[in-house]
């Protein structure tokens, strides 16, 4: 049973087991319990909204490893990437009072109207969770239409 995305919540899932017992051909088993959060990631999804006139938009994602799963982020990359990527990111690490806090800053670069989607991948040094991903959605609004009626 996959528990990705369920950290900090309870999960229950039913499993049907088929047997050769004539009296119990099918047995339903319920698996469940609390799922430990690997890290606190706030917000979980980046949404960048801007307009063609003022295309500047950014958002900060705060990532805090849980006490039970301390890890370091060793690399970060994004898709799409390159000079034409609609967004860029930077990663900052801060340690205060024994707690590690990462700040992922995501900035819009798209200057034309439209929407885009992408993902930022974060490689960790933790043996059980080698990669985290943050989805990015962007929307750049077109300029409002001019009245253009030509009437005096």
Non-local (6+) Cβ contacts of 125 within 8 A are: 71, 72, 74
> What is residue 152's three-state secondary structure?
coil
DSSP structure class, residue 7 = T
SS (H, E, C) 113-126: CEEEEEEEEEEECC
CB 143 within 8 A of CB 54: no
Interatomic CA distance for residues 132 and 130, integer angstroms:
7
Contact (CB, 8 A) for 17 and 107: no
> Buried b / exposed e across 112-124, counting CB within 10 Å, b at 16+?
eeeebebebebeb
This prediction has a pTM of 0.78
Q: Tens digit of pLDDT per residue, the chain (152 long)? A: 677 777 778 888 899 999 999 999 999 999 899 888 899 999 999 999 999 999 999 999 999 999 888 999 999 999 999 889 999 999 999 998 889 999 999 999 999 999 999 999 999 999 989 999 999 999 999 988 876 555 55
Rounded CA separation 73/65 (Å) = 10
What domains can you pick out in the chain, each with its CATH number?
A: 1-36 (no CATH), 38-141 (2.60.40.10)
What CA–CA distances, in Å, run from 131 to 14, 69, 124, 125? 28, 13, 6, 9
Torsions phi, psi of 96, nearest 5? Answer: -135, 125
């Amino acid at each position: 049973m996959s528990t990705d995305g369920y950290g900090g919540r309870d999960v229950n899932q039913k499993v049907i087991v088929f047997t050769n017992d004539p009296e119990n051909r099918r047995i339903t088993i319920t698996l469940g319990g609390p799922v430990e959060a690997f890290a606190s990631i706030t917000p979980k999804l980046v949404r960048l909204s801007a307009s063609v006139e003022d295309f500047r938009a950014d958002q900060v994602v705060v990532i805090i490893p849980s006490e039970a799963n301390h890890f370091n982020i060793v690399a970060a990359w994004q898709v799409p990437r390159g000079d034409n990527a609609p967004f860029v990111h930077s990663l900052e690490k801060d340690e205060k009072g024994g707690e590690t806090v990462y700040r992922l800053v995501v900035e819009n670069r798209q200057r034309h109207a439209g929407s885009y989607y992408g993902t930022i991948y974060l490689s960790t040094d933790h043996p059980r969770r080698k990669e985290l991903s943050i989805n990015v959605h962007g929307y750049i609004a077109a300029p409002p239409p001019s009245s253009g009626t030509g009437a005096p």
